[in-house]
Structure 1
């Protein structure tokens, strides 16, 4: 059951004008000793974020092996349920059982001092046995040690709480030996540039009614075209499975117009949505690029035979939304993280889109990273917006969060380019962790009503100006769903890392630029590799 929203009233809407199983034995007891070790999270000082950054929750993770669980209203260390592998993990870190017990109590005491609006709770909504089962299965499939997601806890903060207000508390939590990491998490936002039309659209809605037949915009969707301009989705449609047949895709963000005339029936709706037009337009535009129905009007999605679902963040953390989406998408499915959030400053000057300066990819925050890593280990393909913060993700400001040699979530990270020259957009994040790019401007899709439908109501809204890594990431999601559909039709199934490899090495190069955003995938090159298994 979803938790009730704890975010109503928080000062978020101004920021939205920017971007865009089975019950099992204890996991560590069964974990094979040959697993590649998981890198521990870097401790936070509490002052990574700009002082005035709004934060919505405190997140605390205990060390692997500690088996700290919430029982009633108290954090307890279940020493009697700790397996031999868990005991070995604690021993390797010099953590005595008594210290784990004491630090769990201290964490609870410290969190009671937070300016909070709710009680301490588990960060992930799935039950403990489900999370344990997914950890075991992911480790079995990947050979990589995964985080015990049951060790994550959260406290929701009062609306208006800033990073500076809780910085000392975060530092105190991280000073505890039994805590792997603690941090204040800012609210996620849609990774789109420029919501300037929003106020006008709100006024237009007052006079909405069902309108005449919508034109067909497929010929205007340049990202569907052959390389070098597009990803050649039109070629993919001629290949068996190339429209995403038998692939499930779940979008993670804050809102959608599920009754839009070009929206397919959704196979799942997880969590809840914000009652906000900006969020709804954003999510609707995202799904339009991927699964807009193939008919005689509106837009046509890249993978328009894929099954679409949604996972809303209004009533759950981003990390929980990721795990719930991954569970729904299933083995071989695709999930899209259509969010970014305020991160540390990397010192790079923002010459455009200044309201989102230093907004970065969601895997910077450890719980999101661990959720993604668990998803990809379990055979789910994850596509993630790089963010619109003009940030160099290789900067020392982010530590090793985006250093693939230190930690690799397996996600496909997407930058944004111009629609014509494939040059990085001035606001796109960039760096070695950015794998591929998509169109970051001038995207035709559903939503907004700036192209069509402004007088007819949201169910007929269309736009020609969707932008940001929000418009770029659905291009890649559609390409991944198309390629997976072809793979399934040929008796194969790609993992997230395999999909990342084949998309990032078979495409049109970006324009010469020191800011790396990878290639624009070319399905005419990708699909033969998928069919032959040479990826």
Structure 2
């Protein structure tokens, strides 16, 4: 029925005399010349191991094709195509007829998937909002941004594994009109579990003295120094965390300015999100912990009811220019061909910008002036491996995000399971982090609203430490009248002023050092 509708639509369109428009030069048409997006490299064989759990199929059509979801159907809207889109479509050598035929082919393929429903838009914001944010990001950066309305998803039935859809994904990628298609692996927090016994306590103690990551270099980031500088607690900065759940009523957390998305009703997700919040914004009081950027505003964006890419886009809009978005997730990547010697349950899990929709959402956020911090993951892999086809090669593509690995507490050596490589910008403590949640420090008997831990770990503990440093520096910039900092410039400042990692073949980058970074930031 739907296929017939689209076939008839094609016929009617052709009979009405619609034909390819001549594509003028950029100069003649008045189209602003932007640095083009880098081409997407399609896989030549299935990327995911057959047994990998997958949760959705993602398909993006090429720039300029103007494929849209209208009235519940995927359609190519030729009459809405603007001159820039015509140029981008012509750049791919795509004709109207070819796109229409391949759109029908893609719909037939997607109908074969073990799906929960029909194709839907991957990004949940309305079309006008997406188009306006794209325009502003291009105007600000001079770089061509992805049309996020060309991304579509098909949610898969629970229990679906890569083996069920690998062949389908390869057939979708064989269509010239499709820029990329992939199965999105299930995500999980980037935490490495370290167990410890409950230690009984009758009242909530103050644990700030045990937060070694607050200390001066070389062991810590010297957050205590930043707090002595105007704006150095993250004043006026908005932070949005992306993951599964949080305990909004924890005694040591501030009120949230943004609570987007849907949360999982799951204690492990809730403990994880709460621990992350404590590192960043635990309140400055006489009990519990003190967050690195406790003067910042904080919010969260749940992923239970939307794609990661959509969550990134929504979080960036909430954080705004000069705000910070934290991506605290990882997922199974391509098989790299080695056995992990530690943390085997998360072996070969990689940062989420590996997948193109997430990358495009991050790139638009940073081009719009939003700082994005991303956990590098605990997959024990070298991100420079050729199996990733340049996804983590900064000379090939750069989202503008700050990618964070995990080092030993105080000694700055790569932990056994941390991902590493030239794309990694910074590291922070990946073990022994004192924060909220879990209850192993305070005693689980005390009630979830009073739970604290001294063993938060993984790139999940490292990334929020870096978020705190970013927010503090942006707060100092705001207080000094410099205003929002360019995300790439702030990333380079942190790299240039950080305490070097221990000498090692695994590159995890320096540890932030706010005492050195702030004077350089304030220099004329």
Give TM-score scaled by structure 1 length: 0.91
- 1:297-446 equivalences under 5 Å are 297-446=287-436
Equivalent residue number for residue 494 of structure 1: 485
1:134 aligns to what? 133
Q: How does 1:90-489 map to 2 (within 5 A)?
A: 90-194=89-193, 212-489=202-479
Per-residue deviation, 1:31: 9.2
Whole-angstrom distance in 2 between the partners of 1:433 and 1:32: 34
Contact preservation (8 Å) 2:195, 2:455: no
The CA deviation string for residues 286-341 of structure 1, in whole angstroms up to 9 with x for no partner, is 01000000000000000001000000111111000000000000010000000000
CA contact (8 A) 1:45 1:170 kept: no
Report if the CA contact (8 A) 1:74-1:108 is conserved: no
Q: Deviations over 1:10-33 (max 9, x none)?
A: xxxxxxxxxxxxxxxxxx999953
Residue 498 (structure 1) shift: 1.2
CA distances 1:479-500 after superposition (whole Å, capped 9, x unpaired): 0000000001111221211111
Counterpart contact for 2:114–2:156, Cα < 8 Å? yes
Q: Return the match for 2:499 from 481, 499, 508.
A: 508
Please identify runs of 4+ aligned residues in structure 1 that moved more than 6 A.
Answer: 28-31
Q: CA deviation at 1:526?
A: 0.6
Q: Distance in 2 between matches of 1:340 and 1:355?
A: 12
Q: Structure 1 residue 85: deviation in Å?
A: 1.4
- Contact 1:44–1:182 under 8 Å retained in 2: no
Contact 1:248 1:308 in 2 (8 A): yes
CA distance, structure 1, for counterparts of residue 515 and residue 79 of structure 2? 56
1:53 paired residue number: 52
The normalised TM-score by structure 2 is 0.92
Q: Report how far residue 444 of structure 1 moved.
A: 0.1
Number of residue pairs matched by the alignment: 497
Asked if 1:517 corresponds to 2:508, the answer is yes
2-side partners of 1:432 and 1:116: how far apart?
Answer: 38
Q: Does the aligned pair in 1 maintain the 2:252–2:288 contact within 8 Å? A: yes
Alignment correspondent of 2:17 = none
CA distance in 2 between partners of 1:119 and 1:286 (Å): 35
Which structure 1 residue ranges, 5 or more long, are not aligned?
A: 1-27
**2:52 and 2:161 in contact (8 A); partners too:** yes
Looking at structure 2, the residues matched to 32 and 455 of structure 1 have their Cα atoms a distance apart, in angstroms, of 64
RMSD of the TM alignment (CA)?
Answer: 1.8
SS at 2:88 equivalent: helix
CA–CA distance in structure 2, aligned partners of residues 451 and 345 of structure 1: 37
**How many angstroms apart in 2 are the aligned matches of 1:502 and 1:45?**
38
* Residue 345 (structure 1) shift: 2.1
Counterpart of 1:520 in 2: which secondary structure? coil
- Determine the C-alpha separation between the residues in 1 that align with 2:30 and 2:50: 41
- Given that 1:46 and 1:163 are in contact with CA atoms closer than 8 Å, whether structure 2 keeps it comes out as no
Contact 2:243/2:302 (8 A) holds in 1 = yes
Contact 1:46 1:168 in 2 (8 A): no
* Structure 2: distance between partners of 1:196 and 1:239: 37
Is this contact kept in 1: 2:303–2:311, CA < 8 A?
Answer: yes
- Bigger Rg, which one: 2
Moved more, 438-447 or 345-354: 345-354
8 Å CA contact 1:46, 1:183 repeated in 2: no
Cα contact 1:262–1:288 (8 A) shared by 2: yes
CA distance in 1, matches of 2:397, 2:151: 19
